[in-house]
Amino acid sequence: MFQPLLVTDRRGGINPRASRTLMRDQSLPNVALIGFMGTGKTLLGRMLAHRWGWRFVDTDALVEQKVGCSVAQIFERFGEEYFRQQETEVLRSLENLHRVVIATGGGVPTRTDNVISLRRHAVIVWLTAQPEVILQRVQPIHTRPKLASAAEPLAEIRRLMSERETAYACADIRLDTSTLSPEEAVERIEELVRGWKPRNLT
């Protein structure tokens, strides 16, 4: 069972080298990052995986590889439902992997089957940010299928975030990245994951 353990450097911060050694030695669950677009899932996921010496996977990238075109093209050619089906299949294919940081698409938790799949092997971390910050981060808008056709992108971001809030609440951990640098956010995720306790499902 996961036992939280913290290694600090002489300045009181987390020592990345010691951190990597520790994360290789401990029997930890995978880490799945969920949340709205622009909250840092891919960037922070890559950084966290590198810090720990784990593998990084991005479910959007895996769907693109599987189908053979970009997410925007999948939405345009085949529709959202087809994309969601491919996404669910990709998530199921990850269940037997270990020492993996997973960046998920923004709509992943809206399907109960996806949440069940992630819970089998991962601690779920919900990354969030203020809508105004997200709008700045997701430029150019035309690359974002859920926002490209919106007359008011900021209003659409607020609407979608509100709509998905209940789904995102499945997470074990929540972190607002609005005012954090990438380095600060990664350090905070590590602290939170180490302090995480599995839910009592009995």
Q: What is the pLDDT of residue 47?
A: 97
CA 58/CA 87 separation, integer angstroms: 11
Q: Identify the CA nearest to 70 among candidates 81, 79, 80, 61.
A: 61
Higher pLDDT among residues 31 and 5, named by residue: 31
Q: Give the number of residues written for the chain.
A: 202
Amino acid, res. 178: S
Q: How far apart are CA 23 and CA 20, in angstroms?
A: 5
In this prediction, residue 14 carries a pLDDT of 47
Does residue 25 surpass a pLDDT of 50? no
What are the C-alpha distances in Å from 5 to residues 14, 20, 33, 41, 200?
11, 12, 21, 24, 20
| pLDDT at 145 (0 to 100) | 81
Task: Sketch out the chain's domains with CATH numbers.
Answer: 16-194 (3.40.50.300)
Q: What is the pTM of this model?
A: 0.84
> Residues 52, 20: contact at Cβ < 8 Å?
yes
Residues 114-143: what's their mean pLDDT? 94
pLDDT the model gives residue 24: 54
Mean pLDDT of the chain: 86
Among the residues of 4-70, which ranges form H helices?
A: 16-25, 41-52, 59-67
- At residue 141, the pLDDT reads 81
Question: Both tokens of residue 73?
Answer: 């093209």
The model's pLDDT over 93-111, given as tens digits with 9 standing for 90+, comes to 999 999 999 999 999 999 9
